[in-house]
A = this chain, B = another copy of it.
Amino acid sequence: MISFTSDYTEGAHPEILKRLQDTNFCQEPGYGEDSFSEDARSLIREALGRPEASVFFLVGGTQTNSTVIDAVIPHYGAVIAAETGHIAVHESGAVELSGHKVIILPSHEGKMAAGDLQSYLETFYADAAWPHMAHPDMVYISFPTEYGTIYSKAELEAIRKVCKEYKLKLFIDGARLGYGLESPSADVTLKDIASLCDVFYIGGTKVGALCGEAVVFPAGDAPEHFFTIVKQHGALLAKGRLLGLQFQALFTGGLYFEISRHAIEMAALLKKVFERRGIPFYIDSPTNQQFPILTKEQMDALDGKVLYEIWGKLPDGRFITRFCTSWCTAPRQIEELDSLL
């Protein structure tokens, strides 16, 4: 059985396991004050070209989203997301648990349009009743999006401009950041991401780590008492070394980018498997998530041999599916899929 259901079906990149092994008996302080975390923070600052950046390691994506949002905006603040955004759909109301409303805007293949944002905010402030409404203080976008699409530099700049005009913070969910940056369609780099937002994170869980997300405040302006906030959100790992050493591994010798690139190459192969058969895609994704539209017959052919996700059913009876590649996908897995179809 081969699984393309997600990019977190395996353990971790071997380099991470090796480092776990090598450092196992080093005694280190907890809560991110270990030497591995310290080193990982330096490596990330270096990769960003920003010695002033604040870097923190949290465990998972939903946790990071709710903690960062709650830390950065006032308690009464609302966060604006595309209606397909992870915080709007798949976090069981984690953002609301801390008291923040998620305001949704239309999704354009997973992306928020700067024009929609501008228009929402214009209408908001034009309404005399706005003080009776949840106050928008942040924009949340994902790069790449939940549909595998990526924002162009121009799109990010346009959103950033609106945010500045209306004094909203811009937060980029980078749970799959590597897969976005290494897409041949991407015209932004990690440094651009850091320049274009107030806070973002570099996803580890889906890009080769056992767990871990590196939160970055590029300007070094982490909220006061962020450590305490992280703890309050249950997001502070006692053995912070586990997070530190993983990001240390991923940001040594460009491993993070290299394995992201691999996933993108595998996605290109995967894409061809479907294209060759004239199988259409629900969305034209340039990253590691692919959304082929399969017939019942095609699905039957894979039954019991290949796993993937079903995202919806079309009126004509075909299914929208999701196939993910990852840092770990092997060419032979795609060949096997090819032979089965």
A209 CB to closest chain B CB (Å) equals: 9
Contacts of A216 in B (CB 8 A): none
For A89, give its contact among B91, B96, B133 (CB under 8 Å): B133
Copies in the complex: 4
CA distance A227 to B29 in the complex (A): 32
Q: Indicate with 1 or 0, residue by residue over A230-270, a CB within 8 angstroms of chain B CB atoms.
A: 01111111110110000000000000000000000000000
Which residue of B is nearest A61, CB measured?
A: B238
Is A288 interfacial (CB 8 A cutoff)?
no
A49 in contact (CB, < 8 A): no
- Which among A104, A129, A225 has the highest number of chain B CB atoms within 10 Å? A225
| The one of B6, B93, B134 that contacts A92, using a Cβ cutoff of 8 Å | B134
Assess the A8–B239 pair: CB atoms within 8 A. Answer: yes
CB pair A229 B63 closer than 8 Å = no
Chain B proximity of A269: nearest CB distance (Å): 18
Distance in Å: Cβ of A293 to nearest Cβ of chain B: 18
**Which residues in B have their C-beta under 8 angstroms from that of A65?**
234
**Cross-chain contact A3 with B17 (CB below 8 angstroms):** no
> A1 an interface residue at 8 Å Cβ cutoff?
yes
Query: Which residues of chain B come closer than 8 Å to A205, judged between CB atoms?
Result: 238-239
* Inter-subunit contact A10/B26 (CB<8 Å): yes
- Residue among A66, A104, A238 with max Cβ neighbours from chain B (10 Å): A238
Q: Are B211 and A76 in contact (CB-based, < 8 A)?
A: no
A166 to chain B, nearest CB (A): 14
CB distance from A69 to the nearest CB of B (A): 11
Q: Does A42 contact B (CB under 8 A)?
A: no
- The answer to whether A101 has its CB under 8 Å from any CB of chain B is yes
Nearest Cβ in chain B — how far from A105, in angstroms? Answer: 12
Residues of the B chain whose Cβ atoms lie less than 8 Å from the Cβ of A28: 9-10
Distance of A234 Cα from B225 Cα, bound (Å):
20
Does A210 count as interface, using CB distance less than 8 angstroms?
A: yes
Chain B: CB-nearest residue to A231: B92
Interchain CB contact under 8 A, B239 and A211: yes
Question: CB-defined interface of A208-232 with B at 8 Å, one 1/0 digit per residue?
Answer: 0011000000000000110111011
The answer to whether A99 touches B90, judged by C-beta atoms less than 8 angstroms apart, is: no
Beyond the given A65-B234, A76-B93, A96-B96, please list 19 additional residue pairs across the A-B interface where CB-CB is below 8 A: A5-B29, A9-B27, A9-B28, A10-B27, A11-B23, A20-B20, A20-B210, A59-B60, A60-B234, A60-B237, A62-B236, A75-B229, A76-B232, A90-B133, A92-B131, A93-B232, A94-B233, A135-B228, A211-B242
Closest 4 pairs between A and B when the two form their complex, measured CB to CB: A63-B234, A93-B134, A11-B24, A92-B232
6 A-B interface contacts by CB (under 8 A): A63-B235, A76-B93, A90-B132, A92-B228, A134-B232, A234-B235
